[in-house]
A and B are shown apart, each in its own frame.
Chain A
Amino acid sequence: MRDSKPILLLEDDTVDAMTVKRALKDLKITNPLVRTANGEEALAYLNDENNARPCVILLDLNMPKMNGIEFLRVAKADEKLKRIPAIVLTTSKDDQDRVQTFQLNVAGFIVKPVDYMKFVDAMKIVNLYWTLSELPNSDQETSNAKLETDNACRG
């Protein structure tokens, strides 16, 4: 990834979470992986100011308590969180899920290959893409607040 901030994973299935962790290790991706088991836990992590903001969010869709789409609705409406790229990693091939999540501004919707080596290949490209792509500084103030500060400074 472009910076050394953590990758936040939302995945309720322990085996799937282990697979992501193993793939990142095999690809020598050194960003810490923070795993949360559902949207509720992820929001608790993100809203705790003591935690580092993740560079990207990888999320499953089907999770108990708060699922992926419910999580996106909250995160993408939050001025402090909305600019963190969120990439769906799912087994769902449902076109409705794809449409709905892209409407909620996800930055990718990847159907997880079942074969581990193919999954590693997919994660390799995810890593290359999010190393190539610039990332906004998510710790900075929101656009409007920043604009006002800029204008005030100029004034």
Chain B
Amino acid sequence: MKKIKPILIVEDDVVDATTVKQSLEDLRVKNPVVHMTDGEEALDYLESNKDQTPAMILLDLNMPKIGGVELLQIIKADIVLQRIPVVVLTVSKYEQDKIDTFDLGVAGYVIKAVDYDEFLRAMDIIIQYWGYNGLVEKERSREDARL
């Protein structure tokens, strides 16, 4: 069977990372989840797993050591890593952040909702979209199985 690639979460805030992980669980996402707490850690992980790159990266912007934009610059300059779709998940509404990250080739920029239900709806759309891209897989729910 084909091995399902992991989803990499790069997020320094423990509560935010837990929320993202919880939403993936609630949405029955089958991909394993890998969480790195800053850009430096994420880069180490990516560099040492080039034979098993993540299906996609959910990237926070404001992080210590190597921030999101800086990490994105490094990823997009690397011939192997540049093919991983990166979706920004942030609280930043700054136009400059949007311009910088889209200039670097992000595949989406989502502002995190504070309310969990709203956040879950957003994550559902993200997961469905990347499901259509063949990168994310979900467990079939009982309702699906009956159809």
* A107 and B98 contact, Cβ closer than 8 Å, known pairs A122-B132, A125-B129, A129-B129: no
Mark interface residues in B82-101 (1 if CB within 8 Å of A CB, else 0).
11110100000101101111
Q: Which one of B32-40, B41-49, B107-115 is at the interface? A: B107-115
Chain A residue nearest to B80 in the complex (CB): A103
Whether A132 contacts B126 by the Cβ 8 Å rule is: yes
Nearest-neighbour CB distance to chain A for B81, whole angstroms, equals 10
Contact of B103 among A108, A135, A143 (CB under 8 A): A143
Which A residues have a C-beta under 8 Å from some C-beta of B? Answer: 76, 82-83, 85, 98-99, 102-103, 105-111, 122, 125-126, 128-129, 132-137, 140, 142-143, 146, 150
User: In this assembly, does B105 line the interface, its C-beta being within 8 Å of a C-beta of chain A?
Assistant: yes
Whether A83 contacts B107 by the Cβ 8 Å rule is: no
Chain A residue nearest to B85 in the complex (CB): A102
**How far apart sit A105 and B86, CA to CA, in the bound complex (Å)?**
10
Whether B109 contacts A133 by the Cβ 8 Å rule is: yes
Point out the residues of chain B lying under 8 angstroms from A135, CB to CB: 98, 102, 109
Point out the residues of chain A lying under 8 angstroms from B100, CB to CB: 143
Point out the residues of chain A lying under 8 angstroms from B133, CB to CB: 108-110
Nearest-neighbour CB distance to chain A for B12, whole angstroms, equals 21
User: In this assembly, does B71 line the interface, its C-beta being within 8 Å of a C-beta of chain A?
Assistant: no
Whether A136 contacts B122 by the Cβ 8 Å rule is: no
Whether B122 contacts A132 by the Cβ 8 Å rule is: yes
| Interface pairs (11), CB distance under 8 Å | A107-B85, A125-B128, A129-B128, A132-B108, A132-B125, A133-B108, A135-B102, A136-B98, A137-B98, A143-B100, A143-B103
Whether B95 contacts A136 by the Cβ 8 Å rule is: yes
Whether B99 contacts A107 by the Cβ 8 Å rule is: no
Extra 17 A-B pairs, beta carbons < 8 Å, given A102-B83, A132-B122, A137-B98: A98-B134, A102-B84, A102-B85, A103-B79, A105-B76, A107-B108, A110-B133, A132-B108, A132-B110, A132-B125, A134-B98, A134-B109, A134-B111, A137-B99, A140-B95, A142-B103, A143-B100
Whether A85 contacts B102 by the Cβ 8 Å rule is: yes
